Structure 1
Amino acid sequence: MSTTMRLDLHSDLHRAEPADTTSLQRVPAKRRTALLEQDAPLLMQARASEGLTGGLVERCAAAGLGAIYATTKTHDMVALINRHQQLQAGPVLFDAERYAGKGRDGASGHLDPDWTAYQRRIGIQQPLTDSSYIAANNHARLTAVLKEGANQSKAITTLPLAKHWITNRADELVDQINRFGNPVALMVEDRNDPFATEAAVLGLLHVLAHADVPVLQLRCDITAIGALAFGASHAAIGTSTSRRHIWPPTGGGPTKREPAAYVPASMSHRSLSTIGLAIPHFSDDLRLWTCDCDFCAGATLDHIATETEAAMHSLHCLASLAAKVIGNDPTVSARSWIEACRHALSVNQEISAKLVKNWPVPGNLKAWIKATR
């Protein structure tokens, strides 16, 4: 096994020297500014049921995380706020998800001021707007959403975007964001990980670097932590695959998938069966597969058997990585993130060499490295 694979990305992250510190000089390092009154850089994006009965609030409280819940049910919203307060968990936001599904509202739906007003009445100081989907090149829709969002007091304008806005229209996007001067929350559409290409990461970095207002990156995978390292105010990782991106309206939508757990050494989520298949190939050295998070307590990852257990483990590991990467010095945060990506890419390549088709190398790690060369 190579020395690269022996790096513990969680315990050794800040002891490792960046392989090429000059490569980040072209990437603007912007200091993160918290927007939410109760600051928690990393949020979990989840179904309301996960917070009401699934134990997510308890896990957020233990890890110092907040959560974004997909619900418009007033009773559930009040109950979730109360649970977060009682357990001293991080901040709560609510997502109306008007942009999701085959029947998404993407033509001319106006923002509902009553939606944000109600949230403020129940204690959400800076609520998300109920924005509808913004299709590629629909400049009028982008302008309308930003204009209406700016007219709602202390709201965060949600921008559910076609990926084209990030990969091909980042200049125009950030110009319009600055024109209306309201904090925004980005969510990007893709059948898979929206940030698995260099163009997408470059677009995100451009928006973060040049926006004059706080930017949140929501409904995301591990890129959420990268966004925080490069100046996002807050970012959210979905508790399931379907909540790590906006699913396109064609193709039948997301299907029920096997539970996946975060593999810290590879900085990627993998199905439980894939993890079980991989571990025997490394029986001579299990350090890649041993986890010291509060849930695993030194066990190998194949002890995780259910979706709930996978969520408990993953949340603790992601919170730990975010805490180690995100600091007061934006340059150090950016370098820490890219170095973590480099080492994780090396780990994935070595695992893939043994498992071939069963362990594809994550495109997002390669994209971050290429975008910051």
Structure 2
Amino acid sequence: MDLHERLLVQVSVRDVYDAATLAGHPGSGLVFTGQAGHDAVRMVRRAGYDGPLLADRRRYAGSARVRGTARLSADWIADQVEAGATVPLTDSGYVGRGDHEALHAILEQALQWDGAVAVLPVHARWVIEDRGTLLRTVTDYGSPVALVVEDGPPYRPVPLPLLSAGVAALGSLAYGARWAAIGVREVLRHLYPEPHEVRGGWRRGGARSAFVAERLEFVPVERLGEGTCGCSTCHGRPLRHLAEAEELHVNTHNAKALHGLHNRLMRATHRERWWHTLTQAAAAGGGTPRTTAPGTP
């Protein structure tokens, strides 16, 4: 159950019965989100799923989120281990802009559990202006980590695992992250700023969005254009058919389309260059980058 170069699917505990459908392909795995995440891990493990399984308690999100200085729970770590999680994730609080105390508190506490992954939910400034400090601090402590980056300006990929991410998860893998997780629905692809901060035009909640590979983005199903999709869920049909589909069907398309890109990334000889070419093509209007041979960047 190695996490190496895995692109995981992050789901909520209510997705427990559909989880194997969403992450049944090679190179995948699951992250269950919420206070009962370890229970979902146990259920899926007992049902025979043998891929990587993680549980993200997500105390760092929402109006009642806690600060990163909060005490980490030994019981939460023990529950994940007992349930059969691949590695336990800490139940970290939020690390705000310039909050060095919270960053150090999480990393220091995580060291007490051998192999535990220190979850670092950070303000966007940490991966833009304070990137060097963040990377040096993580290296100094030596604990495995997983970032959750709060919504903000675009940033250069960070070579660290990501949780609750969108397509940035693929970028982190291209730049050397050990693994990364993409949320199955909008709310699990974002860490929204606190209510008093400017939020922009995000679509909250369970609205269905379909991944469009040529654009490298999730598009609300009612806004899908003329393109077609060759994934094993869509079978070459126009993407617009997803507007009438159930959420599971849309999410299965998303998982399959992302799996296809993940496969291409793993075959690329120069992954950072491959990612740059892909993102440039998407920014230029959704064109397809040169693919003269499998994995050619």
TM-score by length of 1: 0.70
Q: Distance in 2 between matches of 1:254 and 1:117?
A: 35
Q: What's the secondary structure of 1:62's corresponding residue? A: coil
Question: 1:144-166: CA deviations, max 9, x gaps?
Answer: 11111122111010001111211
Alignment size in residue pairs? 280
Instruction: Give the deviation of 1:140 after TM superposition.
Output: 1.0
Q: Which amino acid aligns with 1:46?
A: V
Change (3 A) 1:149 1:338: same
Q: 2:191 aligns with which of 232, 246, 249?
A: 246
Aligned equivalents of 1:126, 1:91: Cα separation in 2: 9
* 1:271 corresponds to 2:220: yes
Q: How does 1:81-120 map to 2 (within 5 A)?
A: 81-83=45-47, 86-88=48-50, 90-106=51-67, 108-120=69-81
Counterpart of 2:263? 323
Give matches, 1:301-340, under 5 Å.
Answer: 301-304=239-242, 305-306=244-245, 307-327=247-267, 329=269, 332-340=270-278
Q: Residue 77 of structure 1 corresponds to which residue in structure 2?
A: 41
1:32-60 CA deviation, whole Å, 9 max, x = no partner?
A: xxxx635451001110111x23x232231
- AA matched with 1:91: P
Matched, 1:127 2:91: no
Give the secondary structure class of the aligned counterpart of 2:181. strand
**Cα deviations across residues 155-210 of structure 1 (Å, max 9, x unaligned)?**
010001111211111111112111111010000112xxx4x52xx21xx44xx2xx
Counterpart among 225, 229, 249 of residue 170 in structure 2 = 225
Match of 2:110? 149
Indicate the structure whose relative CO is greater, using CA pairs within 8 Å and at least 6 residues apart: 1
Q: Name the structure 1 match of 2:13.
A: 48
Q: Cα offset for 1:64? A: 4.0
Q: Distance in 2 between matches of 1:239 and 1:220?
A: 10
Whether the 8 Å CA contact 1:58–1:87 is kept in 2: the answer is: no
Shift of 1:63: 5.2
Q: Which residue does 1:346 correspond to in 2?
A: 284
Aligned to 2:150: 189
Looking at structure 2, the residues matched to 335 and 77 of structure 1 have their Cα atoms a distance apart, in angstroms, of 36
Counterpart CA distance in 2 for 1:254 and 1:300 is: 24
Q: Distance in 2 between matches of 1:218 and 1:328?
A: 23
Question: Does structure 1 retain, via aligned residues, the 8 Å contact 2:69–2:101?
Answer: no
Closer, same or farther in 2 for the Cα pair 1:144/1:98, shift >3 Å?
Answer: same
The residue that corresponds to 1:361 in the other structure is none
| Cα pair distance change 1:64/1:166, threshold 3 Å | closer
**1:30-69 paired onto structure 2 within 5 Å:** 37=2, 39=4, 41-50=6-15, 52-53=16-17, 55-62=18-25, 64-69=27-32
**DSSP 3-state at the match of 2:77:** helix
- Change in CA separation of 1:293 and 1:270 when aligned onto 2, cut-off 3 Å: same
Q: Distance in 1 between matches of 2:5 and 2:126?
A: 27
Q: What CA distance in whole angstroms lies between the structure 1 residues aligned with 2:65 and 2:163?
A: 18
Q: Which has the larger radius of gyration?
A: 1
The whole-number CA distance in structure 2 between the counterparts of 1:237 and 1:272 is 18
Which structure features the higher share of helix residues? 1
CA contact 1:63–1:316 (8 Å) conserved in 2:
no
Question: 4+ runs of 1 displaced by more than 6 Å?
Answer: none
| Deviation digits for residues 290-340 of structure 1 (CA, Å, limit 9, x no counterpart) | 1110001111111112322211111100001011012474xx111221111
CA contact (8 A) 1:71 1:77 kept: no
Amino acid at match of 2:257: C
Counterpart CA distance in 1 for 2:80 and 2:169 is: 25
Q: Is the 8 A contact 1:229 1:333 kept in 2?
A: yes
- The alpha-carbon distance between structure 1 residues 328 and 318, as it changes in their structure 2 partners (threshold 3 A), is closer
Q: Percent identity?
A: 26
- Local SS of the residue matching 1:97: coil
1:297 aligned partner: 235
Give deviations 1:104-124, integer Å, cap 9, x for gaps. 111631111221122122322
Instruction: Answer whether contact 2:41 2:54 (CA < 8 A) is retained.
Output: no
Give ranges in structure 1 of 5+ residues lacking alignment. 1-35, 209-214, 280-288, 350-373
Unaligned 5+ runs, structure 2: 288-297
The alignment partner of 1:323 has SS state of helix
2:10 & 2:149 partners in 1: Cα distance? 14
SS of 1:227's equivalent in the other structure is: helix
Aligned residue identity for 1:137: G
AA matched with 1:219: S
The match for 1:352 is none
Residue 129 of structure 1: CA displacement? 0.6
